[in-house]
Structure 1
Amino acid sequence: MQRFQCCANVMLARNEASKKDSNLWYVVKSAPGRQIKALEEMDAVGIDAICPMMRREIRHFQTKTWMMRQFPLFSNYVFACLREPVDFDCLRRMDHVVAVLGGTDGPIAIPTTKVQDICEAQNRGDFDVMRPPSITVLRPDSRVYIQSGPLAGHYASVVKPKGKKAIKAVVEALGTAREIELSIANLKLVA
């Protein structure tokens, strides 16, 4: 029951269609909280549109259970792919579209590669905000991604737990492998 169109499906269709005709991506501002309605309106007239999403784990205030929720990455904005010749009048007639972002020269097209990069990052989970993994999940030889700190962006292999909130891990940086202690709050478990 995904209410926002998946980036992967649209980008796959865009790659196939890009060989046939030229399409341009634009950033469209929707009415506040109306990204879903704007996507539905665009879909009804045949405009491919995406709303990049982020997942966030939140704790229910009463039951204290963890839940996964999806939120728009850019509040009130969607990406729309318009075919040449571009017709902005069809967007102006929509109820849930406020504007197309641009400058003094009119709306500015976004390169397809930028939209693809955002979609790939969404599919990898780069925008997701998850709770840190528990120490019991981080077994020896588990692979983790370091999200913050001086080694942000590197991968590490877990050697052993070090207390309740840290681990010993081997990080390969600058051509050498080093065993260091890392806080689990900075880590993301990867497959």
Structure 2
Amino acid sequence: MNWYVVYTKPKWEKKIADRLNAIGVHTYCPMIIRERQWSDRKKKISVPLFNSYIFVELEDKERNRVFEVPGVVRYLFWLGKPAIVKNFEIEAIQNWLSAPETYNLELDDWKKGDTIVLESGPFVNHSAIIKEVKQNHYLLILESLGCVLRITKNEL
């Protein structure tokens, strides 16, 4: 079975994921906690990590089942075919979201261009290239995930 990305109506991600699960389609809708400000109070709410997107795991021949649920717009396509997300990418998102917010890091004398392996945090065991060393932060390139990670020194 493959993981596919489904585009949904705005703000319908949780509702669609629940309805797809009810008809037997395995879904993953990564959620994060955000603090929102109202005129009279602040409140922490759970919001989707990716607006208008959820992940579904199903066989290729069953892909049309998602359209049984109102609010599903279409699949996300890559090079003319429905985009397939690898299992390790889903696991990386899950690990990142389940990781604690603070980490213990030991700093060596890193220089621009050095390649390191991260020893803690959500990207543990991923190699990174030091792109920038400033007085208050480091910029790391995580090539395996295709992203840039900024570590501020006051968080260390």
Category of TM-score, reference length = shorter chain: 0.5 to 0.7
Larger radius of gyration between Structure 1 and Structure 2: 1
1:27 paired to 2:2: no
Separation in 1, partners of 2:45, 2:155 = 18
Distance verdict in 2 for CA 1:93–1:188, change over 3 Å: same
Residue from 17, 23, 32 that aligns with 1:54 = 32
- Give the equivalent residue in structure 2 for 1:97: 72
* 1:3-22 deviation line (CA, Å, top 9, x unaligned): xxxxxxxxxxxxxxxxxxxx
Gapped regions of structure 1 (runs ≥ 5): 1-22, 127-143, 146-153, 156-170, 176-180
Residue from 11, 16, 26 that aligns with 1:38 = 16
Distance verdict in 2 for CA 1:187–1:34, change over 3 Å: farther
Shift of 1:188: 5.2
* 1:51-76 deviation line (CA, Å, top 9, x unaligned): 1112223455424xx53222111001
Shift of 1:41: 2.0
- Give the equivalent residue in structure 2 for 1:173: 108
Separation in 1, partners of 2:67, 2:155 = 43
Separation in 1, partners of 2:45, 2:86 = 29
- Give the equivalent residue in structure 1 for 2:94: 119
- Give the equivalent residue in structure 2 for 1:108: 83
Residue from 28, 45, 55 that aligns with 1:69 = 45
Distance verdict in 2 for CA 1:54–1:186, change over 3 Å: farther
Normalised by the length of structure 1, the TM-score is 0.52
Distance verdict in 2 for CA 1:172–1:104, change over 3 Å: closer
Shift of 1:102: 1.1
Distance verdict in 2 for CA 1:58–1:31, change over 3 Å: closer
How many equivalent pairs are there? 118
Shift of 1:174: 3.1
Separation in 1, partners of 2:108, 2:36 = 33
Amino acid at match of 2:35: E
SS of 1:95 mapped into structure 2? coil
Amino acid at match of 2:107: E
Separation in 1, partners of 2:67, 2:35 = 36
Shift of 1:115: 0.5
Distance verdict in 2 for CA 1:60–1:89, change over 3 Å: closer
Separation in 1, partners of 2:108, 2:153 = 17
* Aligned sequence identity (%): 22
Distance verdict in 2 for CA 1:58–1:34, change over 3 Å: closer
SS of 1:91 mapped into structure 2? helix
